[in-house]
């Protein structure tokens, strides 16, 4: 069994006597390796390496930086099946889905290849007589990225291509549940010609996160994970004087109006509810059925759920296992709670309940797709982010009732409306308090040249990931006002500078 270590200064790094955590293959339930958990000392070594690398990377020409970015993109594109296999083996998601997350991350790399355009400043000639003004944006220095288990490749790629293209150096702290993807990407950077120390990886848990949050040389923190930890990271990181963007959890609603195409809505509910076993921050977990559409919609979703195959992600199944046995038990606990609170269990995905089709060997962490109807706002299956394959249908009488329900929810990551009424869709997009909205699109993850982020408890800080906001986050602005000596200029004036 191998131990996944850290990556500092272009090479594997380890510490004697380190704490270790198990890494499992969720499809078999077997421990397949271990991951080293960094101490504060190791984090300090990584930050020192990033500080040193920044001295040259921050002033390396844009032409050189982007040529390395292009090379990374080419290597990633050629070799993504290797990375997908690593993700499936540690996360459990099916291979196609793993490839999909890499492709969405690759889009950010492609946008970062255009960094020179995005880093351009402005220029104003003769703003005042003989005075010119220009603006520029400069890299921050060493920046930290702390990522969750559910997208071990894509979420780090929301940030590091932009950070690196803008001239920063990166310390990535991936999830300890699936740490190998980060090391694979570090090796790929080396192959692409990135100088040592520009991309470091420290594996670990709370100790390493705290060390990054407190270190005075770490300039910014980009965090993605659950809401309580996002809030903690935001508060501790900003208290230490850093800029922080901390993306948290979600409870995404899909509002289905009576005029919607119900086959499209049912397909979308399945894809967005059960893809990656519901372990997506943009998963749909609540279908809000308006008016008399509910009976037919629930029947169509149920009919589709029963056809899904859950199993080992390498076997062409629709859906894989949950990430750990503890998470499997938590999700199964929510199904018990939903039954106890009086929701109607339409499809029971718990293994042994007969509804699901399972294709796996061993003791994998499986819960099959599960559908509840008649869910109400007070139930824990509605209130909490389950982060599993449990879809709830909430029945409402009107558009306004559905909208109020969504807007009362503490989260505001993604949402979708299904309708053929352009006026209703237009109202929804204006009135809903959510960051990313789909109109007849169930998982509206923005393209990489737009920015990704939610509202309310789904984001602490104000800057979203990638796109122009990403470039803004990873740079500081300067404005320069210039006057070159003119023979006519002179004289003393202590008044506040005014333009003429």
In the complex, the residues that contact ligand NAD under the rule CB under 6 A are 146-151, 155, 173, 175-176, 205-206, 209, 224-226, 229, 247-250, 281, 385, 387, 413, 454, 458
Residues 390, 331 contacting (CB under 8 angstroms): yes
Phi, psi of 368 (to 5 degrees): -80, 170
In the bound state with ligand NAD, the residue whose beta carbon lies nearer, of 148 and 321, is 148
Q: Minimum CB separation from ligand NAD for residue 248, in Å?
A: 6
Cα(478)–Cα(476) distance, rounded to whole angstroms? 7
Number of neighbouring beta carbons within 10 Å of residue 28 = 18
Q: Minimum CB separation from ligand NAD for residue 208, in Å?
A: 8
In the bound state with ligand NAD, the residue whose beta carbon lies nearer, of 142 and 248, is 248
Cα(202)–Cα(212) distance, rounded to whole angstroms? 10
Helices (H), 193-344: 206-214, 227-239, 262-274, 294-305, 325-340
- Quick one: CA torsion of 169, 175, 180, 186, rounded to 10 degrees? 0
Number of neighbouring beta carbons within 10 Å of residue 226 = 15
Report which of 249, 220, 223, 162 is spatially closest to residue 449, judged by C-alpha positions: 162
In the bound state with ligand NAD, the residue whose beta carbon lies nearer, of 249 and 442, is 249
Cα(82)–Cα(85) distance, rounded to whole angstroms? 5
In the bound state with ligand NAD, the residue whose beta carbon lies nearer, of 214 and 259, is 214
Write down the catalytic residue from 83, 266, 281, 379. 281
| Cα torsion angle, 171, 175, 179, 181, sign | negative
Q: Minimum CB separation from ligand NAD for residue 231, in Å?
A: 10
Strand partners, 345: 372
Cα(96)–Cα(293) distance, rounded to whole angstroms? 33
In the bound state with ligand NAD, the residue whose beta carbon lies nearer, of 84 and 250, is 250
Phi, psi of 399 (to 5 degrees): -55, -45
Q: Minimum CB separation from ligand NAD for residue 176, in Å?
A: 5
Q: Minimum CB separation from ligand NAD for residue 227, in Å?
A: 6
Q: Minimum CB separation from ligand NAD for residue 222, in Å?
A: 11
Extract the runs of DSSP E, i.e. beta strands, from 129-249: 131-139, 142-146, 169-173, 199-201, 220-224, 243-247
317 noted as active-site residue? no
Q: What is the DSSP letter of 454?
A: -
In the bound state with ligand NAD, the residue whose beta carbon lies nearer, of 213 and 360, is 213
Q: Which two tokens stand for residue 207?
A: 């100790």
Q: What distances in angstroms separate CA 487 from CA 133, 210, 451, 492, one per listed residue?
A: 20, 57, 49, 15
In the bound state with ligand NAD, the residue whose beta carbon lies nearer, of 54 and 387, is 387
Residue nearest to ligand NAD (CB): 225
Number of neighbouring beta carbons within 10 Å of residue 256 = 28
Q: Minimum CB separation from ligand NAD for residue 438, in Å?
A: 15
Positions annotated as catalytic residues are 281
């Amino acid at each position: 069994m191998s131990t996944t270590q850290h990556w500092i200064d272009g090479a594997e790094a380890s510490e004697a006597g380190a704490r270790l955590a198990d890494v499992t293959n969720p499809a078999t339930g077997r421990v397949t390796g271990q991951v080293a958990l960094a101490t504060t000392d190791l984090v300090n070594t990584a930050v020192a390496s990033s500080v040193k690398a920044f001295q040259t990377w921050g002033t390396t020409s844009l032409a050189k930086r982007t040529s390395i970015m292009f090379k990374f993109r080419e290597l990633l594109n050629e070799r993504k099946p290797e990375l997908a296999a690593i993700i499936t083996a540690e996360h459990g998601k099916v291979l196609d889905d793993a490839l999909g997350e890499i492709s969405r991350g690759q889009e950010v790399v492609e946008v970062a290849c255009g960094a020179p355009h995005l880093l351009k400043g402005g220029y104003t000639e003769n703003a005042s007589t003989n005075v010119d003004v220009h603006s520029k944006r400069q890299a921050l220095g060493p920046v930290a990225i702390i990522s969750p288990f559910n997208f071990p490749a894509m979420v780090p790629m929301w940030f590091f291509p932009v950070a690196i293209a803008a001239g920063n150096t990166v310390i990535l702290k991936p999830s300890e549940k699936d740490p190998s993807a980060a090391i694979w990407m570090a090796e790929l950077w080396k192959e692409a010609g990135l100088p040592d120390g520009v991309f470091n990886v420290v594996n670990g848990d709370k100790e390493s996160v705290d060390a990054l949050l407190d270190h005075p040389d770490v300039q910014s923190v980009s965090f993605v994970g659950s809401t309580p930890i996002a809030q903690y990271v935001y508060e501790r990181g900003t208290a230490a004087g850093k800029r922080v963007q901390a993306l948290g959890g979600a409870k995404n609603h899909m509002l289905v109006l009576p005029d919607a195409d119900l086959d499209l809505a049912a397909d979308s509910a399945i894809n967005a509810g059960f893809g990656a076993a519901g372990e997506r921050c943009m998963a749909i977990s609540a279908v809000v059925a308006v008016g008399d559409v509910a009976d037919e919609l629930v029947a169509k979703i149920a009919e589709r759920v029963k056809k899904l195959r859950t199993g080992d992600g390498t076997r062409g199944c629709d859906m894989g296992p949950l990430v750990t046995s503890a998470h499997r038990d938590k999700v199964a606990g929510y199904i018990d709670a939903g039954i106890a609170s009086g929701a109607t269990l339409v499809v029971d995905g718990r293994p042994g309940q007969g509804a699901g089709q399972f294709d796996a060997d061993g003791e994998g962490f499986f819960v099959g797709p599960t559908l509840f109807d008649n869910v109400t706002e007070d139930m824990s299956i509605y209130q909490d982010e389950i982060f599993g394959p449990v879809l709830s249908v909430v029945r409402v009488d009107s558009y306004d009732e559905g909208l109020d329900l969504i807007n009362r929810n503490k989260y505001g990551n993604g949402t979708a409306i299904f309708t053929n009424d352009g006026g209703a869709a237009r109202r929804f997009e204006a009135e809903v308090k959510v960051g990313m909205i789909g109109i007849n699109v169930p998982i509206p993850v923005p393209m990489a040249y737009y920015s990704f982020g939610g509202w309310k408890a789904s984001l602490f800080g104000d800057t979203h990931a990638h796109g122009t906001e990403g470039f803004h986050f990873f740079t500081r602005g300067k404005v320069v006002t210039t006057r070159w000596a003119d023979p006519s200029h002179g004289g003393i004036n202590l008044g506040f500078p005014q333009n003429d």
